[in-house]
């Protein structure tokens, strides 16, 4: 039976612990234990619930999709194939304004197909693209904004870690989520490129037009690098073949997302070995994935426990009923949810936001008739935008740590990222309202 004081305590305690700096996993575990105990009054049931949730999670092969896709991305990254493709894109856009920034967006788009982690994209392209853009007199803010903004594509274009987490939390098909993210991801990349081109035409100074390029070492200037056609062909065919095999196999039902992730990791390992990966690099790749994936899996386990706690206490049902009885329109409810995501994005990371809110807000969205897949894509974009907002801005701090430029502060990167944050908000509006317009257009014409 629902009890308001218990509900307030469960939700309030969780957010209080997170805001006090307690690790999200610990906060989820403590809150779940307190909530179950308040409902049942028996510690034995708390222990049994934790044990059964853990056993079910450990038996679920869906959880293996995260480390396997991360391993695929790690092997591809160490193979150097993404760098080869970036160099080729850069050399092929010599006559295009702001070609280095456009190449960064396109390179991040390709990189997103093989890693699914925005932080990895931000770190990689800060080291690859920033030195060259500075060498060609690009404005620091414009260059860093392009890197940080386009890195957000990593969580939308499949295989995305956020999509995997969302699918596990909501018990949706991860394969369907992957496929649903392809077109919005391409749309977002296209909008980023459109902004870059317009900015370059309006203000050529930001891309170094009219100024002599600064001398730069050949190893940092991709236009001066000699990329053999055979090397580029291996990289392009390798990356394209792996992406097509994994996503195509999932689409045609040849294998599940978990099996696809395993196949992708194996194919990426073959590509990396073909391009010179040694034993030390192989061990370092395994270790790197383990350090990143293990905390995520623990978080998912405790998030599953928290979802059970919400169900036992009736919090989810109560919140859904509250919104249904509030008289608010569907778009107003969606606006409130997105606003909450934006605010949380200023203080905590994306996966934590998802773990804290999705079990609560997804039933509310479904009750108001939102399409489950569309709501997932909107949610992922809105949560991802939080990576660019101060004071937390995880992507911004990643870029700052990677460039090692003492003349750039995090405030400069935050300011340069504002247009990309705005473009992501516009993409959310397009995804929400274009289907609505399509539905109402026949009625308007009749």
DSSP characters over 169-230: HHT--HHHHHHHHHHHHHHHHHHHHHHHHHHHHH-GGGGTTTSPPPP--GGG-GGG----HH
Give backbone dihedrals phi and psi of 204, rounded to 5 degrees, phi first: -60, -20
Asked if 279 contacts 85 with a C-beta cutoff of 8 angstroms, the reply is no
Look at residue 120 and give its three-state secondary structure: helix
Asked if 336 contacts 357 with a C-beta cutoff of 8 angstroms, the reply is no
Residues 181, 168: Cα–Cα separation, whole Å: 16
Residue 228 is predicted with a pLDDT of 62
- The structure tokens listed for 318 are 């109560």
Selection from 104, 116, 28 nearest residue 66 by Cα: 116
Q: Which helix (H) or strand (E) holds 343?
A: helix 330-345
- Quote the pTM value: 0.73
- The structure tokens listed for 51 are 């044990």
Per-residue pLDDT of the chain (446 residues; tens, 9 = 90+): 456 677 777 778 887 887 787 877 788 888 888 888 888 888 888 888 888 877 776 666 667 777 887 788 778 778 877 777 777 777 777 777 788 888 888 877 877 766 666 776 777 777 777 887 887 788 888 888 888 888 888 777 777 778 888 888 888 888 888 888 888 888 888 999 999 999 988 888 888 754 444 444 444 444 445 556 566 677 778 877 887 888 788 778 788 777 888 888 899 899 889 888 889 989 988 888 888 777 777 777 787 787 778 777 777 777 778 787 888 888 888 888 888 888 777 766 677 788 878 888 888 888 888 888 888 888 888 888 877 877 667 778 778 877 767 777 778 888 888 899 889 888 888 877 665 443 443 343 33
Look at residue 139 and give its three-state secondary structure: coil
Residue 438 is predicted with a pLDDT of 37
Residue 401 is predicted with a pLDDT of 75
Selection from 142, 69, 146 nearest residue 104 by Cα: 146
Residue 110 is predicted with a pLDDT of 74
| Letter string b/e over residues 151-174, b meaning 16 or more CB atoms within 10 A of that residue's CB | bbbbbbbbbbbbbbbbbbbbebeb
């Amino acid at each position: 039976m629902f009890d308001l004081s218990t509900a307030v305590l469960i939700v309030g305690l969780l957010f209080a612990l997170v805001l006090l700096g307690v690790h999200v996993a610990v906060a989820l575990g403590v809150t779940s234990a307190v909530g179950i105990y308040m409902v049942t009054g028996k510690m034995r049931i708390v222990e049994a619930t934790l044990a059964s949730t853990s056993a079910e999670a450990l038996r679920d092969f869906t959880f293996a999709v995260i480390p396997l896709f991360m391993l695929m991305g790690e092997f591809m990254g160490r193979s150097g194939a993404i760098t080869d493709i970036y160099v080729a894109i850069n050399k092929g856009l010599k006559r295009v304004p702001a070609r280095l920034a456009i190449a960064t967006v396109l390179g991040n788009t390709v990189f997103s197909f093989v890693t699914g982690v925005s932080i990895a994209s931000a770190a990689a392209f800060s080291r690859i693209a920033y030195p060259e853009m500075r060498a060609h007199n690009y404005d620091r803010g414009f260059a860093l904004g392009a890197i940080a903004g386009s890195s957000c594509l990593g969580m939308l274009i499949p295989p995305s870690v956020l999509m995997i987490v969302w699918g596990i939390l909501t018990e949706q098909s991860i394969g369907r989520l992957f496929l649903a993210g392809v077109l919005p991801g391409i749309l977002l990349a296209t909008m980023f490129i459109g902004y870059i081109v317009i900015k370059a035409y309006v203000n050529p100074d930001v891309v170094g037009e009219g100024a002599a390029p600064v001398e730069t070492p050949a190893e940092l200037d991709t236009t001066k690098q000699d990329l053999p056609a055979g090397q580029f062909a291996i990289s392009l065919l390798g990356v394209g073949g792996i992406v097509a095999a994994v996503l195509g196999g999932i689409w045609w039902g040849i294998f599940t997302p978990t099996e696809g992730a395993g196949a992708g990791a194996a194919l990426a390992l073959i590509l990396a070995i073909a391009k010179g990966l040694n034993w030390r690099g192989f061990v370092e790749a395994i270790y790197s994935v383990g350090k990143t994936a293990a905390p995520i899996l623990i978080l998912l386990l405790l998030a599953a426990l928290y979802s059970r706690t919400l169900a036992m206490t009736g919090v989810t049902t109560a919140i859904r009923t509250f919104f249904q009885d509030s008289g608010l329109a569907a778009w107003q409810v969606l606006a409130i949810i997105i606003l909450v995501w934006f605010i949380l994005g200023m203080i905590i990371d994306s996966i934590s936001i998802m773990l804290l809110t999705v079990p609560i807000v997804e039933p509310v969205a479904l009750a108001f008739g939102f399409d489950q897949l569309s709501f997932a894509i909107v949610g992922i974009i809105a949560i991802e935008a939080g990576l660019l907002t101060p004071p937390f801005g995880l992507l911004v701090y990643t870029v700052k740590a990677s460039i090692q430029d003492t003349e750039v502060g995090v405030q400069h990167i935050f300011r340069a990222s504002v247009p990309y944050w705005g473009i992501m908000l516009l993409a959310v509006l397009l995804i929400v309202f274009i289907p609505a317009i399509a539905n109402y257009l026949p009625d308007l014409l009749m």
